[in-house]
A and B are shown apart, each in its own frame.
Chain A
């Protein structure tokens, strides 16, 4: 699913943060090209 793909990660502080998502997709062969974590406080 992620192998060879360029991944835009849009995390959220109250949900799943960007770095956790990035770790998952990178371990599955994807390349993170953008990693943002939104914070709505």
Chain B
């Protein structure tokens, strides 16, 4: 996750607190999803940005996860996400998201 994104996320949390804030990702693959999720849960894993060493522990989901899909109006989801849902590795992305949320170490 680039430094500007990290700075913006940190600013939002400082302004609004963490209690009611959630992150939703649109990463194209499991690797980038894992890095983004780790960044907002445990801090920047590359130790290069403003979130290095900052454990925000924000709830984080990917837009392709089943629980997110179920929370969105089916017609809106089909229109906005449907095409990418057919080409991105949703199950693999969902697996890494669950692992990051559970706090488990990578395989």
Mark A residues whose CB is within 8 Å of B: 1-2, 4-12, 14-18, 20-21, 23-25, 27-28, 30, 33-34, 36-38
Contacts of B16 in A (CB 8 A): 6, 33
Known: A15-B88, A16-B84, A36-B5. A6 touches B26 (CB 8 A): no
- Quote the shortest CB–CB distance from B87 to chain A (angstroms): 10
Give the complex CA separation of A18 and B25 in angstroms: 8
Point out the residue from A10, A23, A27, A28 that lies within 8 Å of B25, measured CB to CB.
A10
Interface residue? B12 (CB, 8 A) = yes
Q: In the docked arrangement, what's the CA distance between A14 and B37, Å?
A: 17
- Please report whether the interface of chain A is mostly helix, strand, loop or mixed according to DSSP: mixed
Interface residue range, chain B: 35 or more
B100 located at the interface, meaning its Cβ lies under 8 Å from any Cβ of chain A in the complex: no
Which residues of B sit under 8 angstroms from A23, Cβ to Cβ? 76, 80
Q: How many A-B residue pairs have CB under 8 A?
A: 102
Which B residues contact A (CB, under 8 angstroms)?
1-2, 4-5, 8-9, 12, 16, 20-29, 32, 36, 40, 58, 63-64, 67-68, 71-73, 76-77, 80-81, 84, 88
Residues of chain B within 8 A (CB-CB) of A9 are 23-24, 26
Q: How many Å lie between the Cα of A21 and that of B89 in the bound state? A: 17
> Known interface pairs A4-B20, A23-B76, A34-B9. Does A10 touch B71 (Cβ–Cβ under 8 Å)?
no
Chain A residues, CB < 8 A from B8: 34, 36
